[in-house]
A and B are shown apart, each in its own frame.
Chain A
Amino acid sequence: MSFERDLLAILPRLRRFAASLSHDRADGDDLCQAALEKGLRARDQWQPGTRLDSWMYRIMRNLWIDEGRARQRAARTFAPEEAGADVGYAGDKAVEQAMTLSDVDRAMQALPPEQREAIALVLVEGLSYKEAAAILNIPMGTLTSRLVRGRGALIELLGEAA
């Protein structure tokens, strides 16, 4: 009972995190839904007294990484024979992206995954470095260097340079 209630309470933030990782809102909700399913299935592994939001952020982030790897594998596998189709598709995608995605979305998309997730946890979700490093399972120094590089790229992409 209270597990579901607690999940519901943090769901708006989980959805926001999913959106900041994903290409667009629809992808974000798909990711969020998948993370919810996984969290509900794995509920016995969550230890009461620990933070449910951190646990769910980690589940979502791992799903997102796995999904990205699967997509890369598929791209490598099918690229040679479908190169022509891919070019057309990529073109459509680019047009669609230009029309529907904002500058911020596009800039986030341009970041390498390890920078994007660090930025999303700290700048969007407002977590502390300690919390974010624990979720990503990386040392604090690694987190801060990813934050520095990611932010440098975003400033360039967004034209925030003074």
Chain B
Amino acid sequence: MTDIDEAMLIAWVDGELDEVTRRRVDRAVAEDPALAARLEQHRRLRARLAGHFAPIAQEDVPASMQAMLASPTVVPIARPSRRWAWATGGAIAASLLLGLGIGRMTGGPDGPIAVRNGAMLARGSLATALDSQLASAGEGGSIHIGLSFRRKGGGWCRSFDGAAMAGVACRTDAGWQLLQAVPGKGQASEYRQAASADPRLLATIDGLIDGAPADAQGERAAQAAGWR
């Protein structure tokens, strides 16, 4: 039975033999106690090694490794932002959202936001759109105007929607002051749909609006008067 070598014995243990060879090893082992003992050694070795390391695969994976594989689409700031927006609906949420979401845009000379005397003011194309675009005309461009409305205490506000951000701005003596801004449609984030339908913006508008939004005629008149 010397034609059964060590490689065949371990292949038997590893389940790597074809049916014919396996039977041949079986017959040889049945007739040769030394061969049977050697096969048993290999069987025990494999069982011992596998058994020694097996519990590791049953353990919980360390949190540090799990964190590396956490879904990147879970945006930690989304939940607190939304909660704060619902709770306060005002300037705190606006400043936080701006700081987190579009803060870098304020740095560039051509960004849509300027900070003056502690207030965030629309500038550039955003200011132009707020000044001149009519929601009722359905005018295109990179920024869409949603609603135009009078705020409680007087003055005009408009909601807008762009690729980078959506928000609500109200006309002041210094210009269009942003009361709230959220990431726009261009920044795909699963937790929100169309930016203009964002519940945070709607909540802000609900808190500001005096009566009903302007109709097409009212909007044109307000524009003609320079939103004063």
Q: Is B70 engaged at the interface, CB distance under 8 Å to the other chain?
A: yes
Q: Is A37 engaged at the interface, CB distance under 8 Å to the other chain?
A: yes
Q: How many residue-residue contacts, CB under 8 A, span A and B?
A: 95
Q: Taking the nearest CB of chain A, how far is it from the CB of B33, in angstroms?
A: 10
Q: Which of B7-15, B81-89, B214-222 contacts A (4 or more CB under 8 A)?
A: B7-15
Q: Taking the nearest CB of chain B, how far is it from the CB of A129, in angstroms?
A: 5
Q: Is B174 engaged at the interface, CB distance under 8 Å to the other chain?
A: no
Known contacts A11-B61, A15-B56; can you find 14 more A-B pairs with CB under 8 A?
Answer: A1-B71, A1-B73, A15-B57, A16-B57, A19-B53, A29-B65, A33-B64, A40-B68, A40-B69, A128-B16, A129-B16, A144-B11, A151-B10, A151-B42
Q: List residues of chain B with CB within 8 A of the CB of A158.
A: 45, 48
Q: List residues of chain B with CB within 8 A of the CB of A91.
A: none
Q: Which of A1-52 contact B (CB under 8 A)?
A: 1, 4-5, 7-8, 11-13, 15-16, 19-20, 25, 29, 32-33, 36-37, 40
Q: List residues of chain A with CB within 8 A of the CB of B58.
A: 12
Q: List residues of chain B with CB within 8 A of the CB of A102.
A: 52
Is chain B's binding surface mostly helix, strand, loop or mixed?
helix
Is chain A's binding surface mostly helix, strand, loop or mixed?
helix
Q: Is B37 engaged at the interface, CB distance under 8 Å to the other chain?
A: yes
Q: A1-B73, A11-B69 are in contact. Are A104 and B49 (CB under 8 A)?
A: yes
Q: Is A152 engaged at the interface, CB distance under 8 Å to the other chain?
A: yes
Instruction: Say whether A12 contacts B61, CB under 8 Å.
Output: yes
Q: Which of B15-32 contact A (CB under 8 A)?
A: 16
Q: Which residues of A contact B (CB under 8 A)?
A: 1, 4-5, 7-8, 11-13, 15-16, 19-20, 25, 29, 32-33, 36-37, 40, 102, 104-105, 108, 119, 122-124, 126, 128-129, 144-145, 147-148, 151-152, 154-155, 158, 160-162
Q: Taking the nearest CB of chain B, how far is it from the CB of A103, in angstroms?
A: 9
Instruction: Say whether B40 contacts A162, CB under 8 Å.
Output: yes
Q: List residues of chain B with CB within 8 A of the CB of A144.
A: 7, 10-11
Instruction: Say whether B53 contacts A129, CB under 8 Å.
Output: no
Instruction: Say whether B53 contacts A154, CB under 8 Å.
Output: no
Q: Is B62 engaged at the interface, CB distance under 8 Å to the other chain?
A: yes
CA distance A122 to B42 in the complex (A): 13
Q: Is B66 engaged at the interface, CB distance under 8 Å to the other chain?
A: yes
12 CB contacts below 8 A, A to B, read: A8-B66, A15-B56, A15-B57, A16-B56, A16-B57, A29-B62, A123-B50, A124-B49, A147-B7, A158-B45, A158-B48, A160-B45
